[in-house]
Amino acid sequence: MNRSFFPKFVTTFSSVLMLGALAGLASTQAYGIDDNNAGEKATVEELNVAVQQLDLRIGQNTTGIETNAGNIDLNAEAIATINAALGALGTSYDYRDYVGPGNVNKVFSSKGPASCATTEIRRTTRTAGGDGSTDVEMIRERRDAGNSICQYDVFKFKETDQARVLLGKSRFEPFNTTQLRFTDVVAEPVPFLASSMRMGAAFGSGSETTRSYAFGPVEQGTMVITHTLVGLEDVTVPAGSYAGCLKINQTRASTHFGVGLAFTNWYCPGIGLTKRVFHNIGGPTGYTLMLTEYQQL
């Protein structure tokens, strides 16, 4: 409880008693006034002024008490917010609670100069692996304003009890999605999501990469990806509103997967990626994805 409340209360109560006493004195003086006695009239006027001043002070004290009560409420809200934040810092988050189970089809709106698309479609299929893991294939189809495919990629992931890791990516020609352009393979699986993510803690790794062109040379490179869980947020997109979504920042430096890239991704419970904001580090160029449709297959 705010101890400053008690002095102000006592001051207010004392002021009320004094106001009553002065009012009574003013009445006594008024009964003894002679119209020709200017001195007594002046005394009454002075008493009236004093009464008005005390009334003003009482109002000020009452306002002060109300302000203190409001501050107590604000302090209680701040303490609750701090306690919630401290609780979140100690909580471990499992990626499997934040990705859509089974096979799903998702449609995103895409806005920004860094993407050829106005629409992005992602189809994810899962099959059981022989070691208890799950093999994941995600087809990313980007379509321009005329609804023509402008980019077509197939990503390979593996989901385990520890993490969801990237294995590689293949890009196909947009005018013929059966004609391979190149394939990227990572020597060591790179985590994209983990089963024990904590607020403010970074995770990720690096790997050597190999790019094999369908009609050309083989190139060697490297890739380093870092993720940081930075918060829990509610997200509203055209597909709906979702509460308690993981907000994860990602940075990527890679010979073949892009250099100096930064993403902020929102993963919502049972839905997976719901929103993404991308930009080139050191530059404004980027794009924003927002989920518009979600379908369990």
Q: Where are the alpha helices (DSSP H) in the chain?
A: 5-31, 38-89
**pLDDT tens-digit readout, 218-246:** 999 999 999 999 999 999 999 999 999 99
CB 67, CB 215: distance < 8 Å: no
Report d(CA 83, CA 185) in Å as an integer: 44
**pLDDT tens-digit readout, 266-280:** 999 999 999 999 987
Of 22-36, 136-150, 211-225, the range with the lowest mean pLDDT is 22-36
Q: First and final CA of the chain: distance in angstroms?
A: 56
CB 133, CB 157: distance < 8 Å: no
Domain 93-296's class? mainly beta
pLDDT at res. 22: 39
pLDDT at res. 88: 53
pLDDT at 255 over 70: yes
Report d(CA 8, CA 148) in Å as an integer: 73
pLDDT at res. 239: 97
pLDDT at res. 113: 85
CB 203, CB 186: distance < 8 Å: no
The H or E element containing residue 128 is strand 119-128
Beta-carbon contacts of 243 under 8 Å, excluding residues fewer than 6 positions away, are: 234, 268, 269
Highest mean pLDDT among 13-22, 51-60, 97-106, 254-263: 97-106
Averaged confidence pLDDT in the chain? 80
What percent of the chain is modeled with pLDDT above 70?
68
Q: Parse the chain into domains and list their residue ranges.
A: 5-89, 93-296
pLDDT at 251 over 70: yes
pLDDT at res. 130: 82
Write down the pTM of the prediction: 0.70
pLDDT at res. 254: 82
pLDDT at res. 148: 96
